[in-house]
Structure 1
Amino acid sequence: MREVFQQELAEVQDRLAEIARLVAISIEKATRAFNKSDVTLAEEVIADDDKIDELTVQLDELAITILARQQPVARDLRIVVSALRISASLERMGDMSTHISQLARYRFPDKVIPKSLRPTFAEMGALDVKIANMLAELLTTEDMALAEAIRNEDDKVDALHLSVFDAVLGETWKGQAADTVDATLASRYHERFADHAVSIAKKVQYLGTGDWQQPAPADA
């Protein structure tokens, strides 16, 4: 029975890594669709989100079955409970990719963001893609250095997010009301995507080290 239980735990972790890889593909496509106003790619991301949702439901059902049948304790219990929370965050990351793609679809054939902000969103999207790929690797390898790297990249996303707000609220902003709304929403989606990745990284870090404390700043 113990061997079966360990196999089930390994399957939970494998499924998390699989969903994370799909999320990484989703955000990569979403950012391309957004930046290039590619409606075909946007529709692909929106359609593929059903697969991410389906896999998260299946994972949750497996985790609940393990809880009911195996009644795990200590670290094994933390793994299963954390898996439920991580799957929820991954599902939300997939939703953020979908929301970004929906903006591209709504504004097609125009681009969503005014020219002055496009470099900012290109950088923000590239950071989200980098974070998603690191997260997929973290869930596969449990390399704790990746957890720290994700948090550092999230700081860059946060700074860009704030710069978007500064731009749309500034006196030199020439965008229309729709431009302001689109820029604000898109920036928020990018920022929340990265935040969910940080949340997952913290859970993996806790499982690996038993330490839930905030890491020291890089320049401390």
Structure 2
Amino acid sequence: MREAYHVELEQLADHLAGMSVQVADAMERATRALLEVDLALAEQVISDDAKVDDARAECEEQAYALLALQAPVATDLRTVLAAIHAAESLERMGDLALHVAKAARRRHPEPVLPDAVRDDFARMGDLDVKLARRVEQIIKTKDVAAAKDLETEDDAVDDIHRHLFTVLMDRDWPHGVAAAVDVTLLGRFYERFADHAVSVARRMIFVVTGKMPGYGTDDEI
């Protein structure tokens, strides 16, 4: 019975890792749709979002079944609780990629981004996708050091996000209010995607150490 129970916990982790792949692919495609004005890619991200929602529901159903039927304790309990929270963050990452894709579709056939910020969004998109793919490995390995290192990449996204505001506040901004609103919202989507990736990594640290980073512990990242 105990062996079967741990097999179920491993399956739960595999489902979460699979969600990480899904949202990484979604953000990669959404960014390409944004930069390349590719309507087909945007539509693919939009239609695939339901799969991410289904994956979250499946993870939560499995986690709640484990809580109800197995009454886990200690590390096993932390694993199940972390999975519930991580699935929520991963689903939200999918939603943020969806918002990017919808912006690309809404403005098509016109580009959403002025040339002045295209490189910034290309870099943020690349960083976000790398973060999500690293989360997949962290879920599989429960590597605390790798989870802590994720914060550095998140800082890089934050730096670009702050830089966008300096561009938007320039009195010589020539692209109008609508473009400024688009850039502001899109920058926020990318910044929040990275934040949720860090949140998932912190949940994995909690599984291993029993302490939640960022709340006054020695494991803050």
TM-score (structure 2 length as normaliser) = 0.94
Matched with 1:6 is 6
Give yes or no for contact 2:78–2:206 (8 Å, CA) kept in 1.
Answer: no
The secondary structure found in structure 2 opposite 1:212 is: coil
TM-score (structure 1 length as normaliser) = 0.94
Matched with 1:96 is 96
Runs (4+) of structure 1 moved beyond 6 Å?
none
Amino acid at match of 1:162: R
- Once residues 104 and 213 of structure 1 are traced to their aligned partners in structure 2, the CA distance between those partners, rounded to angstroms, is 36
- Once residues 172 and 108 of structure 2 are traced to their aligned partners in structure 1, the CA distance between those partners, rounded to angstroms, is 26
Amino acid at match of 1:193: F
- Once residues 179 and 213 of structure 1 are traced to their aligned partners in structure 2, the CA distance between those partners, rounded to angstroms, is 37
Give yes or no for contact 1:24–1:136 (8 Å, CA) kept in 2.
Answer: no
Amino acid at match of 1:53: D
- Once residues 30 and 126 of structure 2 are traced to their aligned partners in structure 1, the CA distance between those partners, rounded to angstroms, is 11
The secondary structure found in structure 1 opposite 2:112 is: coil
- Once residues 195 and 167 of structure 1 are traced to their aligned partners in structure 2, the CA distance between those partners, rounded to angstroms, is 22
Matched with 1:161 is 161
- The correspondence of residues 199-214 of structure 1 with structure 2, limited to 5 A, is 199-214=199-214
The secondary structure found in structure 2 opposite 1:119 is: helix
- Once residues 166 and 95 of structure 1 are traced to their aligned partners in structure 2, the CA distance between those partners, rounded to angstroms, is 27
Please list the CA deviations of residues 77-105 of structure 1 after superposition, one character each: whole Å capped at 9, or x if unmatched: 11101100000000000001100000110
* Structure 2 portions without partners, runs of 5+: none
* Structure 1 portions without partners, runs of 5+: none
Deviation of 1:70 after TM superposition, in Å, equals 0.8
- Once residues 7 and 18 of structure 2 are traced to their aligned partners in structure 1, the CA distance between those partners, rounded to angstroms, is 16
Change (3 A) 1:173 1:199: same
- The correspondence of residues 1-220 of structure 1 with structure 2, limited to 5 A, is 1-214=1-214
- Once residues 220 and 208 of structure 2 are traced to their aligned partners in structure 1, the CA distance between those partners, rounded to angstroms, is 18
Give yes or no for contact 2:202–2:213 (8 Å, CA) kept in 1.
Answer: no
Amino acid at match of 1:94: G
Amino acid at match of 1:157: V
Give yes or no for contact 2:23–2:132 (8 Å, CA) kept in 1.
Answer: yes
Please list the CA deviations of residues 116-156 of structure 1 after superposition, one character each: whole Å capped at 9, or x if unmatched: 11111111111111111111111122223321232100001
- Once residues 10 and 216 of structure 1 are traced to their aligned partners in structure 2, the CA distance between those partners, rounded to angstroms, is 26
**Root mean square deviation, CA, Å:** 1.4
- Once residues 64 and 73 of structure 1 are traced to their aligned partners in structure 2, the CA distance between those partners, rounded to angstroms, is 14
Seq. identity, %: 42
Greater mean alpha carbon deviation, residues 125-134 or residues 179-188: 125-134
Q: How many residues align?
A: 217
Amino acid at match of 1:55: A
Give yes or no for contact 1:26–1:94 (8 Å, CA) kept in 2.
Answer: yes
- Once residues 111 and 213 of structure 1 are traced to their aligned partners in structure 2, the CA distance between those partners, rounded to angstroms, is 40
